[in-house]
Every structure is written in structure tokens, then in C-alpha cells.
Amino acid sequence: MKPIVCALALIALVPALSHGQSRVQRTADGKPDLSGIWQVMNTAAWDIQAHNAQKGVPAGPGVVDGNELPYTREALTKKKSNYENRATADPESKCYLPGVPRITYMPFPFQIVQTPAQVTFLYEYAHAVRNIFVNTPHIEGQLFWWMGDSRGRWEGDTLVVDVTDFNDETWFDRAGNLHSDALHVVERYTPLDADHITYEATIEDPKVFTRPWQMSMILNRHKEKNFRLLEYECFSF
Amino acid sequence: MNVSRSEPGLLLAAGIATIALLWSPAVSGQASKNRPVIAGCPSVSAKFHPCALEKAKTFSPPRMPDGTPNLQGIWDAPLAMGFQNIEDFPGDRSPGGFGPAVTVIVDPADGRVPYFPWARAQREENIKKYIDPYAQCLPTGVPRQMANFRTRQITQSGSMISIVNEAGGHIFRVVYMDGRPHLSPAFKLWMGDSLGHWDGNTLVIETTNFNGRWWYDSEGHFASDALKVTERLTLVDPDTLHYQATMEDPKVYTRPWTIVFPLERIKEKGYEQMEEACHEGDHDAAGFVLGGYQPYLGPRFPQ
């Protein structure tokens, strides 16, 4: 019986690996290896919520869990005014650093460089950089950084990044969704297989939202031969 | 504190820039330009160059698991002073301006960029008419990235090496070590396309595909989009790199030329590069325009 059981077990395994999935690569210290060049395949850059197409804007289902954003009344008024004035009011239109999580789902690739103590994100957009320091505390005192202060830790195979110390000058998208300098983002990067990462972000901002909310999406590995980051030096044009 | 048009990061309106500045040991780089000795060698480039390479011959560098030399760390360029002027410099008489400096060019021996005559004239015109692109928060290009104020972090990971700067507003380079070919010449980049390999214990990086829009320094020294830069990074001791870059550009220079300066490891435990937004808080570019300076868009070749 035993050989038959083994054969059946093998047959059972084959479908799991036959859909183009491959195992998550690991670093020397056993952590998932997130190194590589990644990019989303969604329309969150235009609007993180569900939206119809407009000229130059592809329709999309949105990336917000449950779709609704729990704005306070004042913040909702601000959001509507941001939307009306988005052509000039969007910080992206001024080529400013886009903040977190917005940088993740802009229509540009980014490269992850991973060491045990530091995971560095290099973005094609404006040479933006995020240094995620692993197992270290946030800098004391309040900073007002465009990209925040990022501190990472591994929970099993998930890189959890706690981001604080933002300024209030960035948006979540081109639709005017906003936050304050009280923004607190917790990102979770969980490899799905060798070429996909599940990205989840929990957003807290008591000055703007009545409760925390979440977004999620997939990061796709660029597998084109010799693929590399080029440049989008926004304010040089 | 020196504030000149070469250092946009110092001019940020954002208060946080001040914090980053106060934290940074490179601020003291202004004073350390007078250090006569680095790593047991005279600090002037022409003398540091042969002395440091001689020392490197007998130094066995720390190694990565794959056996290649480990150059990882955060590096300061205390003597390059952010490249106020890569040639001999008499000093800047403006308030808070730079003091005199000795050329970082070791070849040719006269310490001057071997420009064609029209290109030397272009350089003079650059100083008089144009804004240093870096002062507008545009990327430094190479080799200025390695000489820039404050620090750069080198990380070796698999088949690539990243070099990430703190100052100048978020700039970085990724050096591919996997033997791939350069990009098509059609691609023009601020930071170029960098490919690397090891020559013994020396990291050699060849960079092409530049856009010809940056300056080497605040004093108008320039290249075209035909530039090729070959850098050589060699550990002299655990905390000092001999940095060398050779520039070839047949459209602008009569011959290749080479600069050398030391990079020093930041040894402070737990030192972290901080965010330095640049364009986001930049208000001085408007001042230059008011002062009659124009944005620099690259060299104007003779007809």
C-alpha cells in the first residue's frame, strides 16, 4: 500500500504547483526574500475607491476593504473640495513625494533591497527612498516627513511595517482622499508565492477618520529579462 | 554654517531638514577639509591616490558570504566638500562661502579638466548664466553622488549593489553585477546606467546613458550625454575607501581624466539616514531666477 499512498500524495501535490506558482525564495536568515522589482496592477493611483472610467482614468473596483472611507464630517467636506480642485491641488501635480501608502500603488515600479537589519525600497518615481529599519524603535519626538518613519518587524512570513511621523501634505490618490499629520499606517507584506506579495495597509488617523480602515492589493514581480528601474524625475520636465 | 547655492538641502523651509543637518557628522566636513592626513595618507588627492593604493595592496578586506569584498556601510566624503569646485579653487568670497580647496583631479597632472577650447568657454558661461542643476534639487549624476554632502549607504545584495544618498533629496543608484548589457543609448538618465564587476578587491562600476544635464560641481564643470564614468572603489583599511572615477567624453574632453578622494565610514552605532525632501521645500530656485540665472539644459555644442 505504501507506494500507492506516496503516489497519490504526489498527484495531490502536483495541482498545487501546476498553476505557475513557485515557492517563496528565502534569505540566509530564513526570512522570505522580498528582493526584486515590483509593481501593482490596479487603478488605485487615480482613486482608491471604486470608480467609473473618465477620460484618461481607467475604471477600477478600488482597493479599500468595504469601499467606504469613514471620514469625519469636516474631512468629507475637505475631500470633496480636494476632488473639485484635484488638477492643481494634488501634491502629485507639484511633484512632491507622494507619502505612504500612495507611493506603493503609483504607476511606477519599485525595487526592494533586503538585509536582515534594513529593508530599503527604491522607487522609480522621483528617486523616492524608504528605509525600513527592522526591530528598532521610532525616532523620539514628532517628525513631519513626507514618507514617514518606517520601522519593520517580521511576524512569521509577513514583514510588518509601522509608519508614523507624517506631514499633512500628501493625499492617498488623485481623487483627493486625505489624511492629517496624525496618520499612522501599518503595512503588511506577505509573499503569496515567488512572484506575488499581498500588500495590506491599515490606516488610522483620528483627526480625519472615525475608525481605522484597510486597503489591500497584490504586488507583482517584474520578470522581464534584465528589467531595471528607469527614472521619472517629475520636476525636471 | 555654510549655505551656498550648491547645497539646496540646507535651504529647505521644512524644519526637519534642520534636524537632519544637526544630526549629520558630515556638517563638520566643512572643518575637516583641513585634515592633513586620512588613513595614514596625505589627504590631498594627488598624494592620497598613490599612498592609499599602496596600503590597499596589503589590506585584506572583510568579505561577504559569497567571498566578494564587503563595502557595505554608510560613507562620508569629508574632503570632497560636496564638490564646490573639482579644480583648484581660490575660495568663495560671498558671505558664508566656501574656503579655498585643492583639485581632486589626479590626471592630468595639472589638475584641470581637459576640455576642448569651446567647452572651457562653456564652463565659464555656465558659472555666469546658469543655475547649478543640483541647487534646483535635480539629481547629482555621477561622480557627484559620491562626493555629495552628508552620507551615502552602500548595500550589497545578491547580484546588485545599491548606493543611496541622504542629501540632495532622495537620490540613489542600483549597480547590476549580473553581466547584463547596458541600456540602449536611446535612454538618457540623470544617474546613468551602472554595471559593476570585481577586479580583485576593487569594485569597478561603469556608468553610461547619462543625460548631460548635471554639473560635477557648483562651478559649472560639465559633461555631455556621451559621458562614460568608470569608478573604482577599494578598501584601504576597515573604514576608508579609495574612490576613483575616470571620465571619458569625446564630445567635451580631449582625453580621459581621473579624480580621487577618500570616503570614510560613519562608525556611529545605529546611524540612520533620514528623510531629506528637497524639491518639496525648495524656494531658492525662484531666487536664482530673480537673480537672472537660467536653468541649465545641457551644453551647446559648436556648429
pLDDT of amino acid B303: 78
pLDDT in tens, chain B (303 residues): 233 333 443 333 333 333 333 333 333 333 345 688 999 999 999 999 999 999 999 999 999 999 999 999 999 998 887 788 999 988 876 776 777 888 999 999 999 999 999 999 999 999 999 999 998 899 999 999 999 988 999 999 889 999 999 987 789 999 999 999 999 999 999 999 999 999 999 999 999 999 999 999 999 999 999 999 999 999 999 999 999 999 999 999 999 999 999 999 999 999 999 998 888 876 666 666 767 899 999 999 987
In angstroms, the CA A60 to CA A12 distance is 36
**Residue A229 corresponds to which amino acid?**
L
pTM of the model: 0.90
Out of B172, B275, B280, the one facing A96 most closely (by C-beta) is B280
Name the minimum distance, in Å, from the CA of A159 to any CA of chain B.
18
pLDDT at position A21:
66
Closest by Cα among A54, A36, A38 to A46: A54
pLDDT at B90: 84
pLDDT of residue B155: 98
Query: What is the predicted pLDDT for the residue at B78?
Result: 86
pLDDT digits (tens, 9 = 90+) for A105-135: 999 999 999 999 999 999 999 999 999 999 9
> Each residue of A82-110: pLDDT tens digit?
999 999 999 999 999 999 999 999 999 99
List of chain A residues with pLDDT < 70: 1-21
Pairing of the two strands B37-38 and B73-76: unpaired
| Prediction ipTM score | 0.90
Calpha distance B302→B119 (Å, rounded): 9
What pLDDT sits at residue A148?
A: 97
pLDDT at position A28, please?
92
- Mark residue B211 as left, alpha or beta (left: phi above 0; alpha: psi -120 to 50; beta: remaining): alpha
Nearest CA in chain B to A229: B174
Chosen for mutation from A29, A34, A113 (greatest number of chain B CBs closer than 10 Å) is A113
User: What integer pLDDT is reported at residue A20 of this predicted model?
Assistant: 56
Contact B275 A122 (CB under 8 A): no
Q: Tell me how many residue pairs between chain A and chain B have CB atoms under 8 A apart.
A: 81
Chain B: residue whose CA lies nearest to A226:
B180
- The CATH T-level fold of domain A26-221 is Lipocalin (2.40.128)
Q: What is the pLDDT of residue B21?
A: 36
The Cα of A102 is separated from the nearest Cα of chain B by a number of Å equal to 16
Q: Which residue has the cell 549580473?
A: B178
Q: Does A233 touch chain B (CB under 8 A)?
A: yes
Chain B residues in contact with A145 by the CB 8 A cut-off are 16, 275, 277
What is the nearest CA distance from B285 to chain A, expressed in angstroms? 12
Q: If residue A191 lies in a helix (H) or strand (E), which one and from where to where?
A: strand A184-193
What is the least distance, in Å, from the CA of B299 to any CA of chain A?
A: 16
**How many angstroms separate the CA atoms of B92 and B76, rounded?**
23
Contact B275 A145 (CB under 8 A): yes
